[in-house]
Chains A and B, each alone.
Chain A
């Protein structure tokens, strides 16, 4: 296919490769030591876990609530807490990088560098079982190109800070990044050829970029929930106008559910409308899949509606009875773009792997297949 567009109309965007959660799990003790100074939780009200699928980190020192061992007061202001929380995450990253064992194991820095506070405040005390402490919640942003960043949808990092600025809790819904690559950006869904190539060797130029880019927000800005000390409801969170482009779309990197294993973090466009937002691919690597149902005589046909990617896909369908435990009894359903279900209620999953890029996407839903005419 001839290259008939000017080079200036081609725009690149970043895709991020994620670490295998298995590396985090197998180095759990060393990670705990790097973050908290001890190889293992004390077992005295301390808990540290790594989610087996997502690699999300969770730490909590419940002994703080019993008032053990630490006097002193809470940091006085939210600015102090933000500084402490960010400092903890930065130092944690440095220790991870400096650890020969973790470097050799291929464990990258655990936290993103572009963190923006969303909410900072005090919780606990009084009727609750928790002692008062601060909670600082960050959203994560990634560089999408040389002059712009994008929010990571679904990623939050919460740091809880107790007396004397001690970190007593960490909830990191984030998947550490191994590296990144550049790919072509998609900005117009009207051309199916932009989504699929006819061969692995074909280069398809995207059309001229037609939507104004948001101005790059400064790293210190964020969408902070401002808290009031009066009664009554708070105003809606302030949204910076430059977070959305002119057509109400936001460029994001989409982190899936905890239970979905993914290897890449890809850019998507979040379009706002109706009761929810919809995500559409924003790059040649981006991929999403939905399950579309169609009744046919005596059965139900399920089709994988794939958006984005190269067009060279591998499908893996699985199902389990709804009153059966999902993971242990999932059965294979097929490996093509469409499968049939006989009557019954089932939990169905389809995983699509792009054979050219290695990006995968999963959709799972419950399906009721009726007999006869549905």
Chain B
């Protein structure tokens, strides 16, 4: 770990180490965002994994499944770290609509396998990936959320892969790619009481996380959507009217689904997945919507966010509704689309929010079944906050249309955004319970019993 970069408002350390181009001590305006950001592992196979049941132990990869750690002997760096920013085009986000966010600074590194994948086969190919981190300016134009209220800075931890056209379809060829990202979140906790007691010691770095699934239709703040629903543990007029499902904060660590679009996925339907994760300092209340001091990561918005009707003149319901960054691929008026690269439409996303300490000594850890890295034990309680890492696992399948042509694109194009503002939650929202907590998920009605399920979905169980 070498250099320190303080470009305008962003400050961080970065280096090429085992794990690729890794960012450490990432801060914006001197507010801490993360201790460590990396692509922990990539996986390649010639077939998607076999998933006969919901039990992760039953899941199997194909016989050509291989994993790589970036900047390892198997996948060394080709060149050093490039610092981007000398001209505008090199720091431009490669995928619309995110190119509209100004990202004047970036870092890039590329890697190429020392031995070809499927070596000896007609379809042997080198594994070639590029990491590109882009750092955005602080603001709200373009809007980060449909209400166009929140000022934040974007961070895009992009990864690109590419495979050439298949030479011989009759033998195995690369058809599955997966990349796991790990973000050791580290938001500031303001602790006046400790200084008064002269008890400054190791920072306990307690952050809280919440998961949410948006409604696809517009719900009124005090509309008829409020109802007693099985699994709705806390009557809360804000959360239940704005979100279809939620755990705020999560009761315990969680390993679940963000996108379930491709393949046989027993036990999870496409509309039972979560849409976003928010992480905030545990010692502060956070409003929903709003979250003015938090890490935000959205990979899908409800359909209404992509519909310009609520933003029309005189309406003013949702000022930025209809803008492309809220639509996603294949958006319709009844269902928002995933924020993914259109050249890689066949994607699933799994995620986990788990204690960072468990993987601190081996941050490149990864398992054939993503969730198995975490599910060897019961999930620990989280309601009071903990030192968490956010994991995101993007898996991509190769469609038949990409067999005869180059297959590749960018992952994690949605990135995340970091807000560190004075709380500007509207007064009426505060009165209505915007700071309230609650749960509606596959957790069940009671949140007092010991949590045994890692995989809690956005549905009533």
Contact B319 A154 (CB under 8 A): no
Question: Are A325 and B88 closer than 8 Å at their CB atoms?
Answer: yes
Structural contact, A235 and B203, CB atoms closer than 8 A: no
Residue in chain A with minimal CB distance to B293: A119
Interface string of B411-425 (1 = CB under 8 A from A): 000000000011111
Is A299 located at the chain interface by the 8 A CB criterion? no
A49: chain B residues within 8 A (beta carbon): 8
Partner of A47, one of B6, B143, B318, B428: B6
CA distance A259 to B142 in the complex (A): 10
A303 to B312 CA separation, bound complex (whole angstroms): 11
The minimal Cβ–Cβ distance linking B307 to chain A, given in whole angstroms, is: 11
In the assembled complex, the Cα of A177 lies from the Cα of B318 at a distance in Å of: 32
Whole-angstrom CA separation of A326 from B201 in the bound complex: 46
Evaluate contact between A62 and B385: CB separation under 8 angstroms.
Answer: no
**Residue pair B289, A78 in contact (C-beta under 8 Å):** no
Interface-located stretch among A18-26, A30-38, A207-215, A236-244: A236-244
List B contacts of A234 (CB < 8 A).
Answer: 283-285
Determine the chain A residues whose CB is within 8 A of the CB of B231 once the complex forms: none
Residues of A within 8 A of B151 (CB): 154, 257
Given A229-B191, A366-B100, also A236-B422 (CB < 8 A): no
B385 touches A126 (CB 8 A): no
Q: Establish whether residues A227 and B313, one from each chain, have CB atoms under 8 Å apart when the complex forms.
A: no
A188 located at the interface, meaning its Cβ lies under 8 Å from any Cβ of chain B in the complex: no
Asked if B8 and A58 make an inter-chain contact with CB atoms under 8 angstroms apart, the answer reads yes
Q: A257-B139, A275-B221 are in contact. Are A366 and B323 (CB under 8 A)?
A: yes
Residues from chain A with Cβ under 8 Å of B289 in the complex: 275
**Nearest Cβ in chain A — how far from B185, in angstroms?**
11
| Min CB–CB distance B238 → chain A (angstroms) | 9
The answer to whether A322 and B6 have CB atoms under 8 Å apart is: no
Give A126 Cβ to nearest chain B Cβ, in Å.
3
**A128 touching B423 by the CB < 8 A rule?**
no
A347 to B194, CA, bound (A): 48
Chain A, Cβ-Cβ closest to B241: A275
A232 within 8 A of B: yes
Contact of A125 (CB < 8 Å), options: B25, B139, B201, B424: B201
Contact of A293 among B141, B188, B308 (CB under 8 A): B308
Contact of A365 among B99, B204, B323, B428 (CB under 8 A): B323
Residues of B in contact with A, size category: 35 or more
Q: Compute how far the CA of A118 lies from the CA of B293 in the bound complex, rounded to whole angstroms.
A: 14
A window 117-132: CB within 8 A of B: 118-130, 132
**Is A237 in contact with B186, judged by CB distance below 8 angstroms?**
no
> What residues of B have a CB within 8 angstroms of the CB of A58 in the complex?
8-9, 29
Q: Mark out the residues of chain B between 279 and 299 whose CB falls within 8 Å of any chain A CB in the assembled complex.
A: 282-287, 289
Q: Choose from A124, A233, A325 the contact partner of B89 (Cβ within 8 Å).
A: A325
Given contacts A74-B195, A139-B422, A231-B385, contact A257 B203 (CB under 8 A): no
CB distance from B289 to the nearest CB of A (A): 6
A272 near B426: Cβ-Cβ < 8 Å: yes
Give Cα distance in the complex from A234 to B384, angstroms.
11
Complex interface: chain B residues within 8 A of A227 (CB): 190-193, 283
A278 sits at the interface (CB 8 A)? yes
Question: Quick one: which of B89, B322, B422 has the most chain A CB within 10 A?
Answer: B422
A156 at the interface (CB under 8 A from B): yes
- How many Å lie between the Cα of A272 and that of B430 in the bound state? 11
In whole angstroms, how far apart are the Cα atoms of A272 and B431 in the complex?
Answer: 11
The answer to whether B11 and A127 touch across the interface, beta carbons within 8 angstroms, is no
Contact code string B323-337 (vs A, CB < 8 Å = 1, else 0): 111010000000000
Contact flags (1/0) for B194-213 with A, using CB distance below 8 Å?
A: 11101011111110100000
Tell me the residues in window 65-111 of chain B with beta carbons closer than 8 Å to chain A beta carbons: 88-89, 92, 95-97, 99-100, 102
Q: Which of A62, A120, A125: most chain B CB closer than 10 A?
A: A125
A160 interface hit (Cβ, 8 Å): yes
Which residues from chain B contact A200 at a C-beta distance below 8 Å? Answer: none
Check: A90 CB closer than 8 A to any chain B CB.
no
**B236 interfacial by beta-carbon distance below 8 Å:** no
The reply to whether the CB of B160 lies closer than 8 angstroms to some CB of chain A is no
Residue of B nearest to A78 (CB): B192
By a CB distance below 8 angstroms, the chain B residues around A121 are 190-192
A302 and B257 CA atoms in complex are apart in Å by 39
Q: A124-B188, A275-B221 are in contact. Are A322 and B29 (CB under 8 A)?
A: no
Kindly count the residue-residue contacts between A and B in the assembled complex, taking CB atoms under 8 Å apart: 223
Contact A228 B193 (CB under 8 A): yes
Is A327 a contact partner of B318 (Cβ separation < 8 A)? no
Q: Are A236 and B142 in contact (CB-based, < 8 A)?
A: no
A171 is an interface residue with CB less than 8 A from chain B: yes
Contact A77 B30 (CB under 8 A): no
Q: How far is the CB of B199 from chain A (nearest CB, A)?
A: 10
Provide the B430-447 mask, 1 if CB < 8 A to any CB of A, else 0. 100011010000000000
Contact indicator A128/B283 (Cβ below 8 Å): no
* Chain B 26-38: CB-based contact to A (< 8 A → 1; otherwise 0): 0101101001000
Chain B residue contacts of A326, Cβ below 8 A = 100, 102
**Residue numbers in B under 8 Å from A76 (CB-CB):** 195-196, 198
- CB–CB A128/B35 < 8 A: yes
Does B253 touch A at the CB level, under 8 Å? no
| Inter-chain contacts of A153 with B (CB < 8 A) | 424
B279 CB, nearest partner CB in chain A, Å: 14
Q: Mark A173-198, 1 if CB is under 8 A from B, else 0.
A: 00000000000000000000000000
Convert A264-305 into 0s and 1s, putting 1 for each residue whose CB lies closer than 8 angstroms to a CB of B. Answer: 000000001111111000000000001011000000000101
- Tell me whether B200 and A122 are in contact (CB under 8 A): yes
B242 within 8 A of A: yes
Complex alpha-carbon distance, A95 and B425, angstroms: 36
Interface positions, chain B 7-28, Cβ under 8 Å from A, are 8-9, 11, 13, 24-25, 27
20 CB < 8 A contacts A-B: A60-B30, A62-B11, A120-B190, A121-B190, A122-B195, A128-B186, A128-B203, A129-B35, A132-B200, A135-B190, A233-B284, A234-B284, A234-B285, A276-B318, A293-B322, A326-B100, A347-B142, A365-B142, A366-B97, A366-B323
Q: 7 closest Cβ contacts across the A-B interface?
A: A126-B203, A121-B190, A229-B193, A126-B202, A129-B25, A292-B313, A276-B147
Chain A contact residues, CB within 8 Å of chain B = 45, 47, 49, 58, 60, 62, 74, 76-78, 118-130, 132, 134-135, 137, 139, 153-154, 156, 158, 160, 169, 171, 225, 227-229, 231-237, 239, 243-244, 248, 250, 257-260, 272-278, 290, 292-293, 303, 305, 322-328, 345, 347, 364-368
